[in-house]
């Protein structure tokens, strides 16, 4: 089993509030990710990090921000929550290796945070 | 855009082998095929991956055709707990090997 944790698991909050979703992993993985997933829909990458002090935006535009001060910790922050931010947020970390010209990477996911903004 | 094509849904009887197909006709020579599954909107779970040889682990087998344009995930003895959405993903060398998630196949195991 992967050792990756997300808190809170569920969050109901009012519009305009600042929220931080926590993600931590104990596997020593350098690469970490945040995905957003609406019910029954595909996962969309919103942020990722190659390691400490590295943050990149994903394919889906997001009003959230992330930070990576420690290897094991990758929090996601919404400065002002809106109903359009209601979704499930999934954190992942990965171990990867290069073999010739190929790069293989296995992602391990946390249980997710279900966010409801009223 | 996802680089794979999967059926939207499939049924399988409990105890039988579940064979999930995936087409990836544009796969490049250095791109891996990955399979993940997601149960009840939990975080996705890694199952298996391969490059060109068939692979087997404690969860499943992965059969990749010789031309690498398609693959099949095999769950040898499906149980009710295998009901999930199964994602076939090709890591994209065009986008720094990020995983591009599609809609997957909803597999329903019936008693």
Q: Rounded to an integer, what distance in angstroms lies between the CA atom of residue A93 and that of residue A91?
A: 7
Is residue B61 scored above 90 in pLDDT? yes
A71-97 burial, b at 16+ Cβ within 10 Å, e below that, comes to: bbebbbebeebeeebebbbbbbbbeee
pLDDT score recorded for residue B87: 96
Residues of chain A above pLDDT 90, percent: 75
CB-CB: which of A43, A92, A105 is closest to B97? Answer: A105
A97 pLDDT band (50/70/90 cuts)? Answer: low
pLDDT score recorded for residue B40: 85
pLDDT score recorded for residue A102: 58
Mean pLDDT of B20-31: 90
Disruptive mutation site among A44, A93, A107, A112 for chain B (greatest number of B CBs within 10 Å): A107
CB atoms A101 and B44 under 8 Å: no
B2 pLDDT band (50/70/90 cuts)? Answer: low
pLDDT score recorded for residue A2: 59
β-strand pairing of B70-75 with A102-109: unpaired
CB-CB: which of B31, B34, B43 is closest to A90? Answer: B43
Q: Give the residue from chain A lying closest to B102, CA to CA.
A: A42
What is the average pLDDT score of chain A? 90
Of B2 and B85, the one with more pLDDT: B85
pLDDT score recorded for residue A99: 60
Measured distance between the N- and C-terminal CA atoms of chain A, rounded to whole angstroms: 34
Mean pLDDT of A79-101: 85
Q: Report DSSP state, residue B44.
A: -
Is residue A47 scored above 70 in pLDDT? yes
What is the average pLDDT score of chain B? 91
Yes or no: say if A56 and A50 are a contact pair by the CB < 8 Å rule: yes
Mean pLDDT of A56-73: 90
pLDDT digits (tens, 9 = 90+) for A105-114: 889 999 999 9
Of B91 and A93, the one with more pLDDT: A93
Longest dimension (CA), chain B: 43
B109 pLDDT band (50/70/90 cuts)? Answer: very high
pLDDT score recorded for residue B94: 64
């Amino acid at each position: 089993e992967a050792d990756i944790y997300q808190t809170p698991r569920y969050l109901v909050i009012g519009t305009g509030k600042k929220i931080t979703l926590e993600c931590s992993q104990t596997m020593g993985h350098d690469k970490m990710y945040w995905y957003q997933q609406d019910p029954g829909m595909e996962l969309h990458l919103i942020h990722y990090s190659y390691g400490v002090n590295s943050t990149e935006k994903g394919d889906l535009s997001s009003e959230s921000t992330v930070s990576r001060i420690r290897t094991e910790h990758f929090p996601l922050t919404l400065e002002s929550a809106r109903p359009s931010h209601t979704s499930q947020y999934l954190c992942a970390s990965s171990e990867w290796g290069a073999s010739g010209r190929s790069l293989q990477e296995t992602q391990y996911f946390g249980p997710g945070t279900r966010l409801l903004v009223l | 855009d996802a680089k794979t094509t999967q059926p939207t849904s499939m049924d399988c009887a409990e105890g039988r082998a579940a064979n999930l197909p995936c087409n990836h006709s544009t796969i490049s020579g250095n791109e891996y095929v990955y399979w993940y599954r997601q149960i009840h909107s939990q975080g996705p779970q890694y199952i298996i991956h391969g490059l060109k040889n068939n692979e087997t682990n404690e969860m499943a087998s992965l059969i990749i055709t010789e031309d690498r344009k398609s693959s099949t995930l095999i769950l040898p003895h499906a149980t009710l707990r295998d009901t999930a959405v199964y994602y076939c993903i090709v890591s994209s060398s065009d986008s720094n090997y990020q995983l591009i998630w599609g809609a997957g196949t909803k597999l329903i195991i019936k008693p």
